[in-house]
């Protein structure tokens, strides 16, 4: 059986000034990896190491310069529409539409999937309740706290019942307590619903908590370390991840408390 996500020698070069005889900026260099169905992978790396570029390639928002990206056996860029309802993204900031209420924001994906008013309302209400937002359905984003807004964005992603969930540092802007609570809720939801999840983060602790496998990226996005969490001692993994990140020549914020 083929993997759910496959990156095969993917290169992404952005247009720009010529550098060292090559045109443009090389963001991803021959990146190859696979993710199995239902697997939870955490991608770690310092700022600017190409995590977001990999993320955008995976989401089909940009096209690889070379190599192939296959998600569920399809090309996410060329077959963009095929992925309707199959991929959902939780972004770093909540990205809620300010003119929509919490309920209407959660309904967005369902609306675009053509679900009936009744179905999308019932689904959205269910997810809001599940994420502890009952009573806030008709609140506009500006009336909600940062944690509540991020909960709405998680509900929006889960509401479409995607096969793959992509998360781009969704809890990094929250305070530690709220972030920790949301991480636990997120983990529970992903496990309960059997989703394949790629979680981009720059926090080692977060990666250890939310990934079954950790991939450490170096610039230009290539894998410096790949480690399965279940197979090893957490402290040892933490040390190896930290070493892999610092080996890239960058100062890493000490997050392995």
Nearest CB to another protein, comparing residues 25 and 91: 91
Which residue, among 189, 195, 186, 200, has the nearest Cα to 163 in the 3D structure? 195
Say how far apart CA 198 and CA 168 lie, in whole Å. 8
CB of 20 to another protein, least distance (A): 29
Instruction: Assess contact for 80 and 60: CB atoms under 8 A.
Output: yes
Nearest CB to another protein, comparing residues 164 and 210: 164
Position of tokens 């998600």? 71
CB of 183 to another protein, least distance (A): 21
Q: List CB contacts of 243: < 8 A, sequence separation 6 or more.
A: none
CB of 146 to another protein, least distance (A): 15
CB of 175 to another protein, least distance (A): 21
CB of 147 to another protein, least distance (A): 18
Nearest CB to another protein, comparing residues 92 and 178: 92
Nearest CB to another protein, comparing residues 67 and 85: 85
DSSP state string for 181-221: HHHHHHHHHHHHHT-EEEEEES-HHHHHHH-SEEEEEETTB
**Beta strands at 5-14 and 25-35: parallel, antiparallel or unpaired:** antiparallel
**Beta strands at 25-35 and 222-228: parallel, antiparallel or unpaired:** unpaired
Which residue, among 74, 67, 54, 60, has the nearest Cα to 2 in the 3D structure? 74
Instruction: Return the H-helix or E-strand segment holding 3.
Output: none
Interface residue list for another protein (CB under 8 A):
59, 61, 80-81, 83-85, 87-89, 91, 93, 95, 97-101, 108-109, 111-113, 140, 142-143, 160
DSSP state string for 216-244: EEETTBEEEEEEESTTS-HHHHHHHHHHH
Nearest CB to another protein, comparing residues 97 and 122: 97
CB of 93 to another protein, least distance (A): 7
């Amino acid at each position: 059986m083929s993997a759910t996500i496959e990156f095969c020698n993917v290169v992404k070069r952005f247009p720009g000034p010529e550098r060292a005889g090559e045109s443009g900026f090389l963001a991803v260099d021959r990146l190859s990896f696979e993710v199995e169905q239902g697997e939870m992978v955490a991608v770690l790396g310092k700022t600017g190491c190409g995590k977001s570029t990999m993320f955008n390639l995976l989401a089909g928002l940009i096209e690889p310069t070379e190599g192939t990206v296959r998600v569920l056996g399809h090309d996410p860029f060329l077959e963009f529409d095929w992925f309707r309802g199959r991929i959902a993204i939780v972004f770093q900031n909540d990205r809620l539409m300010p003119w929509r209420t919490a309920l209407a924001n959660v309904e967005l994906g369902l609306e675009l999937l053509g679900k009936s008013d009744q179905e999308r309302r019932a689904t959205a209400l269910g997810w809001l309740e599940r994420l502890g937002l009952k009573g806030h359905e008709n609140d506009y984003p500006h009336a909600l706290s940062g944690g509540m807004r991020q909960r709405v964005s998680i509900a929006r992603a889960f509401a479409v019942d995607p096969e793959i969930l992509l998360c781009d540092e969704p809890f990094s802007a929250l305070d530690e307590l709220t972030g920790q609570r949301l991480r636990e809720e997120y983990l529970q939801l992903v496990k309960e619903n059997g989703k394949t999840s790629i979680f981009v983060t720059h926090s080692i602790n977060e990666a250890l908590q939310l990934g079954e496998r950790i991939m450490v990226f170096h610039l230009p996005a290539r894998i410096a370390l790949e480690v399965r969490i279940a197979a090893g001692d957490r402290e040892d993994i933490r040390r190896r991840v930290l070493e892999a990140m610092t080996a890239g020549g960058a100062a890493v914020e000490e997050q392995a408390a």
